[in-house]
Structure 1
């Protein structure tokens, strides 16, 4: 499915379909500023630092991560945003800031999603890691895909009556995929709503498409799909499995069903997966 088709699908669902009543929170101003600074040919580090310093809690998060055992070696602890940025590097700083800003724009207060943002952050970390090992996978899009692929779930939970019950039902059923239960009960699903959030917030079309299609593995062989989207979808499933392995959780049905074609698409082996799971462990230990 091409991004133009997804755009039309979202527009139709928004104008006269099941998404008419769903209100998408506005993109945070600080996130817009961060993206603008990072999208320049030479990222504007002064502006990134200004954005990071504009929110005390975000500044504290960067300093805390920079001082975690993963990053703190023999150096003195960081005490400022600038020191934290230097230690973390620009790309990881931007990724952490994006996670913080999205998390605060879409708060989750539900027993159904107690660890939602922690797991979203872990998925983003795994995706950014995979971008360093999979040819053609862009790091910024990969991390954003990991963060946003399930973002439709809290939106649906907040705004659609009965969605909490749908989550319980969908998780319990083994006769059909999670999104099939969502579609049956609400005529839409978290992949569609997540794509709507990504579009409303002005992110690139490939991210919108990958979020919309992250449970549709036919895209791996669909020549009409935008370049790069199949890579994001395939890597997303690998990231999910790496996260689940770190948590000691059994593989999900999608991994069991599609792992061979996903590994072939990404040209990765079982040895690669075992090595990456080992390498990611210390970083994932400190994601909260």
Structure 2
């Protein structure tokens, strides 16, 4: 599934996708060297104080499950491994690129996106799926079109409230009716512009597609569906615990999501209990 250049131009009217941050390019270049040194990767990350702080906060989350608390970026790189450290730092750098200081709604959005990413990755680990890093990236960026739309449209916050409350219309349909564009398509274009993996881009584009599980397409890989399923499950659990708006799509697709992940209802409840315990622990720190 792709978006044509003509569709892209129409969807992006007045919306500018920021370029990839330079620190991400430096990290990728260092990673591509034969046997990249952890100290070099750590030195690049440490050049950005905000990125360093965000990385330490993330890896010390209970959801990351590291055997010991991390006190420095070099320590984090050693524990995570170079590839995982580069991916995490790149994700956080891209997140910062789409943050707008002083915009309360955007800052709150990224706080929730970070939690969704952690829970999505935790679920991948609990289900013995070898896509933990991809799950984290997808959980963080699945809704990355939203901050761009918040910055572009004065009343987009109202649109979000309407979309979350709608029981008869798809989330993206509400957006299209009010603004002529929608966050899943914008997020897909962001992912393509930033050279994120195709599975991440396709997941972003299709995560509100009601037919994703009921009418599987050969154009969409099983990994894409798994990433979307993990993120849907993470959102359902985390948002319920925090008394945030629930995904109105869950009553229609919840059973299909659980079936795709081969989960029975009692297993779903056990996962929910484990995540809620971690959320409580995180809130106490």
Instruction: Quickly name the TM-score band, shorter chain normalised.
Output: 0.7 to 0.9
Aligned to 1:126: 119
Q: RMSD value over aligned CA atoms?
A: 3.3
TM-score of the superposed pair, with normalisation by structure 1: 0.81
Task: Indicate the larger mover: 31-40 or 267-276.
Answer: 31-40
1:29 CA displacement: 1.7
> Are residues 1:257 and 2:257 paired?
no
Alignment deviations for residues 76-122 of structure 1 (CA, whole Å, 9 cap, x no partner): x7543222444566676456524431232111443444521111011
Aligned to 1:245: 240
Q: 1:35 to 1:268 in 2, by over 3 A?
A: farther
The within-5 A match list for 1:135-284 is 138-220=131-213, 221-227=215-221, 228-249=223-244, 251-281=246-276, 283-284=278-279
Specify every segment of 5 or more residues in structure 1 that has no aligned partner in the other structure, as ranges. none
Q: 1:64 to 1:129 in 2, by over 3 A?
A: closer
Alignment counterpart, residue 286 of structure 1, candidates 241, 261, 282:
282
1:266 CA displacement: 1.1
Q: Provide the C-alpha distance between the structure 2 equivalents of 1:177 and 1:71, rounded to a whole number of angstroms.
A: 33
TM-score of the superposed pair, with normalisation by structure 2: 0.82
Q: Provide the C-alpha distance between the structure 1 equivalents of 2:35 and 2:41, rounded to a whole number of angstroms.
A: 12
1:187 CA displacement: 1.8
Specify every segment of 5 or more residues in structure 2 that has no aligned partner in the other structure, as ranges. none
Q: Provide the C-alpha distance between the structure 2 equivalents of 1:197 and 1:44, rounded to a whole number of angstroms.
A: 30
1:250 CA displacement: 6.5
Aligned to 1:61: 54
Task: Indicate the larger mover: 30-39 or 234-243.
Answer: 30-39
Alignment deviations for residues 120-170 of structure 1 (CA, whole Å, 9 cap, x no partner): 011111121122234655222211110111110110111235423323433
Contact 1:209-1:229 at 8 Å conserved across structures: yes
Alignment deviations for residues 213-236 of structure 1 (CA, whole Å, 9 cap, x no partner): 011141223232332111112222
Task: Indicate the larger mover: 77-86 or 116-125.
Answer: 77-86
Q: Provide the C-alpha distance between the structure 2 equivalents of 1:69 and 1:147, rounded to a whole number of angstroms.
A: 17
